[in-house]
Amino acid sequence: MKLTPVDISKTASASEIVFDALKKAIIEGELEIGTQLKQDEIARLFNTSRIPVREAISRLEQQGLVKSQRYKGAVVSGLSVEEAEEIFQFRMLLEPEVMRHAVPKMSASVLKQAQFYYEEFSKSKDPMEWGDLNRKFHSTLYDACALQYHLGAIDHAMDQIDRYLRAQLVLSDGIERANIEHNAILQACKDRDADLAAKLTYEHINGAKDSLLVHIAKA
């Protein structure tokens, strides 16, 4: 199993550590769809009992990253085309509005940090970095809205779709297109044009949706 083992035998937050490690491995594609999560094996890797492993898997199931199958137990779950499209439709409703609220509140430091992630994304040649930098770019801009429930909902949606977005960036012209669109979104934020930033965010997500659904349909 592709997990980085950690000795957490004396750690109070064992469940949290196992959860974070499994979630990261699923989102980044290290644990592929259909992979069985064997509690005994995971417990040995982290030098802990099955209790925190079971708790971590239960949280992953609540987030839709894991599902229980008869005779196999917990396995990494995938998305159907219909499920992926629904998540994108949800993002297209929520994220432009979050952006609209965020733009007036963006400080110079927020814009500087977003500029940094944009530039790092633009020049990176490592596919393993693209997903993280893409998400950090958007999150930096969104966080200025201070609407914590909205931000939590976006994070949850991204957790479910992130591994597919990473694949889409690698297998299509996603990087070049994302660079152009990120630059336009960032410029609208710098110009304090909340309506344009929201519009560009909607179009950015819609374009990624169309490209990704083609990829999922072919998978």
Check: CATH 3.60.15.10 for 14-76? no
Average pLDDT over residues 198-214: 91
Q: Looking at domain 81-218, which CATH architecture does it have? A: Up-down Bundle (1.20)
pTM score, whole prediction: 0.76
Contact 74, 53 (CB under 8 A): no
Q: Do domains 14-76 and 81-218 have the same CATH topology?
A: no
Averaged pLDDT of the chain: 88
Residue 68, beta-bridge partner list: 74
Take residue 51 and report the two structure tokens written for it.
């209790």
Residue 1's pLDDT band (cuts 50, 70, 90): low
What pLDDT does 4 receive?
64
Take residue 167 and report the two structure tokens written for it.
């694949």
What pLDDT does 22 receive?
92
pLDDT digits (tens, 9 = 90+) for 56-107: 999 898 888 898 888 888 999 888 888 889 999 999 999 999 999 999 999 9
Take residue 61 and report the two structure tokens written for it.
């199931």
β-strand pairing of 73-76 with 66-69? antiparallel
Q: How many CB atoms lie within 10 A of CB 97?
A: 15
**Domain spans of the chain, in order of start:** 14-76, 81-218
